[in-house]
Amino acid sequence: MNVVTVLMIGGAVHAFIGAGVFFAPEEPHKAQVFVASTLKGLLVSLLVAFSIQHAPRIPLGAAAGLLYGLSFGLVVFLAKGASFRSTPHLIGGSLIQGVVTGALIAAFAFR
């Protein structure tokens, strides 16, 4: 497993999606949300990589990414007050980010 590749994939995917916060005029803490999204991506990517290191297959990576993306999404959702009004796409976005991160890690980080 190439740890640098794992961190680059996780950071890039979550930073790309987290950059959408700069288009939300009602969000007062844009930079903090962007950094938090990127850090979340690094953590999800490390968890996925260490979970699938014995059998790095793309479906297994996507499933691990789904699990960890959902977990981190729920943590952020609950920390923001568990309101779908303030965070309507947070859980769905975290699921998608996790699946993409897991699949990319399984495909490229174990060569």
Mean pLDDT calculated for residue range 23-39: 90
Quote the tokens at residue 88: 């309507």
Residue of higher predicted confidence among 24 and 31 = 31
Average pLDDT in the 21-28 region?
A: 87
How remote is the C-alpha of 95 from its chain's centroid? 8
Structural domain boundaries in the chain: 3-108
Tell me the Ramachandran region of residue 23: left when phi exceeds 0, alpha when psi lies from -120 to 50, beta otherwise. Answer: alpha
